[in-house]
Amino acid sequence: MDRGVSIIEATIAAGSDGWRLDRALAEAVPTLSRERLKVLINAGQVAREATAVRDPARRAKAGEVYRVAVPAPTPAHNEAQDIPLVVAYEDEHLIVIDKPAGLVVHPAAGNLDGTLVNALLHHCGGSLSGIGGVARPGIVHRIDKDTSGLMVAAKTDRTHEGLARQFAAHSIDRRYRAIVGGRPVPPSGSVDAPLARSPVNRKKVAIVAGGKRAVTHYRTMEPLRDGAVVECRLETGRTHQVRVHMASIGHALLGDPVYGRTKQAHKAVLETLGFRRQALHAAHLGFIHPITGAALAFESAMPPDMQELFSQLIV
């Protein structure tokens, strides 16, 4: 490994056979976006059997192994900001945060500061993995701005790579609590439906043939007034997965401004409480520590706004 360069070995999965190389590698290395991988491929930073591959459109084959050279990030312009964090666990390798609703995970257009990354830069004193790139140091996965709950960030590249492998293997135990409209029948089941950007509205995610496989296992935890508290266990972790999958079976999350259609029975309650976000909380996170090998698991109770909504809908 060259100084300042991280080498990631990526194996093309059977489900990615025949895909464009940039897309297949993005599936194998979830810490790198497809656009970033395209840039790395064009720059000769991706090799197979010691030979640089420079065509992002090359068709990948299942079982092929590629070496992706990720240059050290250029100095980040993100500002360390003293934003309070609820820390569920921390050591020299990683940190688990209980994120409040409303906090954006990483800087992007429209949210250049006041993000979780800004808070982590302050809290960790700049000790965060660089594999995620300039804008996303330490970020291995994310949850939506208006979703609350547990997420893990990496302090070192080795930790980042180890966690990324677990996410790619779908071995991370992630369970969400959601308050949905209606009561699912049957009370438990699975949604296996591929997700991609909506061809009609690029700001939304939709069930699209040929999209990335997405699987959500749900079970009703408690019936509510024309609704229910549901636990959703993610087998995969796609953008807006829980929100889209539950809406697809007729049980959209209460308060969801994008995928929900608020039932008349709930409008008054949501308005009275001023509840204007999807009722979704990352309540459980379990994984193997990439460095120590210890099995770690964390629980987070529903935040006060969801608890209040729950109490108003108890049967």
Active site residues: 144
- Beta-sheet strands, E only, within the chain: 5-11, 46-48, 51-52, 65-71, 87-90, 94-99, 148-154, 173-181, 188-192, 195-197, 205-207, 215-224, 227-234, 280-288, 295-299
If you compute the radius of gyration of the chain from its CA atoms, what whole number of angstroms results?
20
Sequence-distant (6+) residues with CB within 8 A of 85 are 97, 116, 119, 120, 123
**Phi, psi angles (nearest 5°) of residue 155:** -95, -20
Q: Which of 102, 103, 130, 129 is nearest to 115 (CA)?
A: 103
3-class secondary-structure state, position 295: strand
CA distance 76 to 88: 26
Contact 10, 66 (CB under 8 A): yes
Buried/exposed 149-168: b ≥16 CB within 10 Å, e otherwise: bbbbbbbbbebbbbbbbbbb
Residue whose structure tokens are 């800087």: 107
